[in-house]
Amino acid sequence: MNKYISSIVAAAAVVGLTACDDYLNREPQDKLIPENFFTTAANLKAYTLNFYTMLPSHSDNAYELGTFSADNGTDNQAYRTASTRWVPGEWRVGQGTENWDFGNVRSLNYFLTNAEAAVEAGEVSGVPEEINQSLGEAYFFRAYTYWANYSAVGDWPINDEVLPNDKEYLLEASVRQPRNKVARHILADLDKAISLLPDESTYGKNGLTKDCANLFRSRVALFEGTWLKYHKGTALVPGGPGWPGKAELISDFNIDSEIAYFFDEAMKSAKVVGDKFVNRLVENTDAPEGMTAGYTEANPYYCMFCAENPGSYDEVLLYRAYSLTFNMGTQIQAQFQKNAGGTGWTRGMVNSFVMRNGLPIYAAGSGYDPQWENQGVSATIQGRDSRLTVFTKGDGSIITLGLDGNSPAKYNMNWLFSPDNTTRCPTGYAVKKGQDYNYAGAQGNLQSTTGSITFRAAEALLNYMEACVEKNGSVDGTADAYWRALRNRAKVDPDYNKTIAATNMTEEAKGDWGAYSHGALVNTTIYNVRRERRNELCAEGLRLMDVRRWCALDQMISTPYIIEGIKYWGTVYNDPSSALCIKNAEGEFYEPVVDPDSDEGNMSARADGDYVRPYQIRKANNLVWDGYTFTRAHYLSPLGHNVFVNASPDKDPANSYVYQNPGWPTEANQGANNLD
């Protein structure tokens, strides 16, 4: 029965609100769902279970590291190819209805309308807690659906009812609402979810709980608060110069009041989770090799990210499980253990990690020696924040213990020159966060069952810290306790004020987009909160969201950003007499090829610097040869051309009820224009 219901629900869920004509030709929902469907807790559960698939999880891409590749294309991680986001004019408006999909909202509205009516009428049998859990999940997933759209495109329609098949009504319903109202709506849905969700799910940590909803609520509120603060005075906030929305929708809008409101809400929700987990963060033993013989756990903090069951770690609030029994597996361990997954930390990312005494690497007395870079990756990262040393493959790092758990294989830098561009490490700083040591999960396709973490409590600590400093300009007692807990786990001097006092923003700006907001350097306290977030959440897919909400990309409008990796020229890797020199398959010194006009080239020219520049190796079809650049329109994604056609009474985009995002045209295949 559950399989039958799930099939029906899946069919209903793909029916989207992508065009007004679609509404008129659509089969009524009551033809898809059995008449007596909303009568049991089991049926409600079957409906909402389908929506868990919308949460982030390991991708099916055979040549990536799952969620640990999600920061690719930022100043944290470099991918084998560059994103068109960093090439103004090349990211273009789609022909269809891109970024304008209401299928999940429609299905969830239908569920909530009918399920709540049935519950109120006393028509639903089953355990009340299970009924409430399904209702709570529906509110959470509706909030998440709104979030996924609003966080990408900003202003968004708000519709919580099952809309009638009336074209004029539907056109009116397609009007985009100001982003702050959408954010408030998301928070309201999450409030309802929190009131209904359990403290512990019947699905274990594969199911949503109050803590998950509170953590996510703090993320949304922080996102909107910082967006309004740092994009203030632009077309990207309601009422800003050039904002395309309707003035009557913001008649009571006060941006400063809204900023304060969202920061307060972020602190409130984050504190609920933070206070519960600040003394329950997973232990970091500082062991650089996360496992020892027999796959024995040596570092719980490390193993949390590569475990089959991350839910066994207190800090993890929600994760997605994989099982070969149900033909559910990924290839991420094949990439981790056999090559580098086509990604690598950037030099800017590595340099952001402070020394264990709490001082930035450039500060007097830090103990850092720039000559260490000549001796290789392991030497470069010695004495640093444990999160860097634990989650970076050093020279000779163990990458697998074999099938028997006692046959270690070690990583070498040869992947820097791998002829296979899909799997090479483009920067030389190979990512180890998420890598298991069990070779069984790396032998064939879809063999890995490493769980995918959706929410973990450490983010709540970071969300509170940031909202507190953004709103009050200082660190309060709660933020102080949170910050010290994170630094203690990272094996860094917990006195963050020591780091703040030694911070030189001109130095930090060389490799950290978060040093900026709206083209200007931020103060050292805000920056160090951002640094903590960057270091704790690296390779967890939140970096692009962060730099967008901080308005931290304006500086690239006039000053291109060059991605760099390890120091190569003049180091042990380029020295034939060194035991660490990079070798070919025959075990001979690998002579690099510097030839940007040929496919044979595999290293950037020494004339451009001693560091690997992955996007200055081959010039052909390389749009970021001169660095990442930016246009302010790219803070938001564009809507597809057919959105404006379908939302127009006469099919003329000029008469559409829906407007395009600032700087983007409505014509298909066109890039964005510059914004002031």
Lowest-pLDDT range of 248-257, 271-280, 328-337, 630-639: 328-337
Mean pLDDT of 459-468: 98
Residue 224 CB contacts under 8 Å (≥ 6 apart), including other chains: 179, 180, 183, 258, 262
Pair of tokens at residue 339: 């090559």
- pLDDT tens for 511-546 read 999 999 999 999 999 999 999 999 999 999 999 999
CA distance 284 to 287: 8
Whether the per-residue pLDDT at 12 is higher than 60: the answer is no
Kindly tell me if the per-residue pLDDT of 28 is higher than 90.
Answer: no
Nearest-angstrom CA–CA distance, 108 and 345: 39
pTM value is 0.94
Least confident of 21-30, 195-204, 479-488, 663-672: 21-30
Q: Please give the average per-residue pLDDT across 606-616, as a whole number.
A: 97
Instruction: Summarize pLDDT for 210-267 with one digit per residue, the tens.
Output: 999 999 999 999 999 999 999 999 999 999 999 999 999 999 999 999 999 999 999 9
- Ordered DSSP codes for 30-73: GGTS-TT-TTBHHHHHHHHHGGGGGS------TTS-GGGGTTBT
Report the candidate in 382, 373, 391 with the shortest Cα–Cα distance to residue 565.
373
List the single range of 23-37, 117-131, 320-334 with lowest mean pLDDT: 23-37
Amino acid letter, 197: L
Please tell me the predicted confidence (pLDDT) of residue 211: 98
Mean pLDDT computed over 427-448: 90
The pLDDT value recorded for residue 417 is 82
Q: What angle do CA 390, 71, 672 make, to 5 degrees?
A: 160
Q: How far apart are alpha carbons 4 and 186 in whole angstroms?
A: 31
pLDDT mean over 114-140: 97
pLDDT in tens, 325-375: 887 899 999 999 888 899 999 999 999 999 999 999 999 999 999 999 999
Max mean pLDDT range (28-32, 103-107, 497-501)? 497-501
Asked whether the predicted pLDDT for residue 25 surpasses 90, the reply is no
Q: Give the whole-number percent of the chain exceeding pLDDT 70.
A: 95
**What integer pLDDT is reported at residue 585 of this predicted model?**
81
Q: How confident is the model at residue 168 (pLDDT cuts 50, 70, 90)?
A: confident
Enumerate helices (H) and strands (E) in the chain, giving the number of each: 21, 10
418 pLDDT band, cuts 50/70/90, is confident
> What integer pLDDT is reported at residue 23 of this predicted model?
31
The rounded distance, in Å, linking the Cα atoms of 245 and 227 is 17
Q: Which of 126-130, 410-414, 566-570 has the least mean pLDDT? A: 410-414
| DSSP H helical ranges for 208-254 | 210-230
Q: What is the 3-state secondary structure (H, E, C) of 607-631?
A: HHCCECCCCCCCCCCCCCCCCECCC
pLDDT at 254: 98
| Whether the predicted pLDDT of 128 surpasses 70 | yes
Q: Is 50 exceeded by the pLDDT of residue 122?
A: yes
Q: Which of 33-37, 404-408, 590-594 has the lowest mean pLDDT?
A: 33-37
Average pLDDT over residues 642-665: 96
Rounded CA Rg of the chain = 25
235 neighbors 241 (Cβ within 8 angstroms): yes
Asked whether the beta carbons of 12 and 107 are under 8 A apart, the reply is: yes
End-to-end alpha carbon distance in the chain: 57
**Greater model confidence, 46 or 586:** 46
What does the pLDDT read at residue 61?
A: 73
| Range from 14-18, 51-55, 153-157, 315-319 carrying the lowest mean pLDDT | 14-18
pLDDT of 32: 57
Burial of residue 314 (number of CB atoms within 10 Å: 0-12, 13-18, 19+): middle
Number of other residues whose CB lies within 10 A of the CB of residue 241: 11
pLDDT in tens, 492-501: 999 999 999 9
